[in-house]
Structure 1
């Protein structure tokens, strides 16, 4: 294995659509998945990903940097908050999320599971 590996989101390994409200571009480096997500205004996990994931709330952890825009998170335990441009956040499984405002939210996520935003039938029993 090489000690240097790089990829570009200009040519991602895979792109997963959020219906008409954005997409997740994925690259894999030495088995580690990194997503660059674009969430359009009006995007909400419970509306645009839940039908794919087949879970009540998002069951993927996230560790990410917000490039632009703003996202609101509502945790299953009732905790909630916003994360915006130039901020870094860690979100545990068990949450809903949605774009705040009229600007797209762009996130680089280093902590999502590889099955994030995959249709339930493609995850072979795992949850996204």
Structure 2
């Protein structure tokens, strides 16, 4: 059986999806799985910048990611919240809102169920 290595780079992503202002996400698919690198600019929120694209009350995507830069606050449907900072690895279940904290772009690499994220319906 032949073994192979599949390599892609975010410098030449398979797809880039612009948010409704304040950022974008680059998507690469390797090994049948999609990985995304999101750039969430200051003032970005899921409600203001992704909800207009996908609809619904809360983000219904499951995220498994790593914060490279900046900070983001995630607010779950039950009201609990967590601020994410560089170097943290996180699992975020569906049913949340999120917003950038501070004046620095948050860069987040997502290995979760991200293929449909910010995909216009």
TM range (shorter): over 0.9
TM-fit CA distance, 1:18: 1.0
- State TM-score, norm by structure 2: 0.95
3-state DSSP of counterpart to 1:46: helix
- The CA RMSD measured in Å over matched residues stands at 1.1
Aligned counterpart, 2:13: 12
Query: After the TM superposition, which residues 16-27 of structure 1 pair with which residues of structure 2 at under 5 Å, given as runs?
Result: 16-27=17-28
Consecutive unaligned residues of structure 2, counting only runs of 5 or more, are none
Inter-partner Cα distance in structure 2 for 1:104 and 1:2: 38
Inter-partner Cα distance in structure 2 for 1:29 and 1:114: 12
TM-fit CA distance, 1:64: 0.4
Aligned counterpart, 2:104: 103
TM-fit CA distance, 1:91: 0.2
| Residues 6 and 30, structure 2, Cα contact 8 Å, conserved in 1 | yes
Aligned counterpart, 2:64: 63
- State TM-score, norm by structure 1: 0.90
TM-fit CA distance, 1:2: 4.9
Query: After the TM superposition, which residues 64-103 of structure 1 pair with which residues of structure 2 at under 5 Å, given as runs?
Result: 64-103=65-104
Confirm whether residue 115 of structure 1 aligns to residue 90 of structure 2.
no
TM-fit CA distance, 1:89: 0.5
| Residues 99 and 105, structure 1, Cα contact 8 Å, conserved in 2 | yes
Inter-partner Cα distance in structure 1 for 2:59 and 2:104: 22
The runs of at least 4 consecutive aligned structure 1 residues that moved more than 3 Å come to none
